[in-house]
Amino acid sequence: MAIEKITGSWDAVNLERINQNFELLNSRELEFMKDFLSTDPSTLTPLLNGKEKLDNLDMHSLNNFGINFRAEVNGIIYKASVYANRSGKLGVGLAKQLSSDVMSEELYYKTVNLKRGWNEIVLNFPVEQNVNYTLFRRSEGDVIQTANLNAAPWGSHPFIENGIKFIVGKFLDETTTYGRYSTFFEIQLITSLAQIYKIANDSVKPAQQFYVGDNPPQDAQFWFKPVSGGGN
Reported as a single tens digit per residue, the pLDDT across 74-126 is: 999 999 999 999 999 999 999 998 765 666 688 999 999 999 999 999 999 99
Please state the pTM of the whole predicted model: 0.73
Contacts for 69 with CB less than 8 Å, ≥ 6 apart: 49, 132, 133, 135, 164, 165, 166, 167
Picking from 158, 188, 200, the residue whose alpha carbon sits closest to that of residue 81 is: 188
Q: Which domains does the chain have, with CATH numbers?
A: 12-44+193-224 (no CATH), 47-190 (2.60.120.820)
* Three-class secondary structure of residue 41 per DSSP: helix
**Confidence band of 73 (pLDDT split at 50, 70, 90):** very high
Give the ranges where the chain is alpha helix by DSSP (H). Answer: 12-38, 193-202
Distance in angstroms (rounded) separating the CA atoms of residues 55 and 35: 38
**Confidence band of 232 (pLDDT split at 50, 70, 90):** very low
Distance in angstroms (rounded) separating the CA atoms of residues 8 and 4: 13
Distance in angstroms (rounded) separating the CA atoms of residues 84 and 89: 10
Secondary structure letter of residue 154 according to DSSP: T
pLDDT tens column, 35-58: 667 667 777 889 999 998 887 788
For residue 54, the one-letter residue type is L
* Three-class secondary structure of residue 1 per DSSP: coil
Interval 152-177 mean pLDDT? 73
* Three-class secondary structure of residue 81 per DSSP: strand
Q: Does residue 226 surpass a pLDDT of 70?
A: no
Percent of the chain with pLDDT over 70: 72
| pLDDT (0 to 100) of residue 156 | 63
* Three-class secondary structure of residue 42 per DSSP: helix
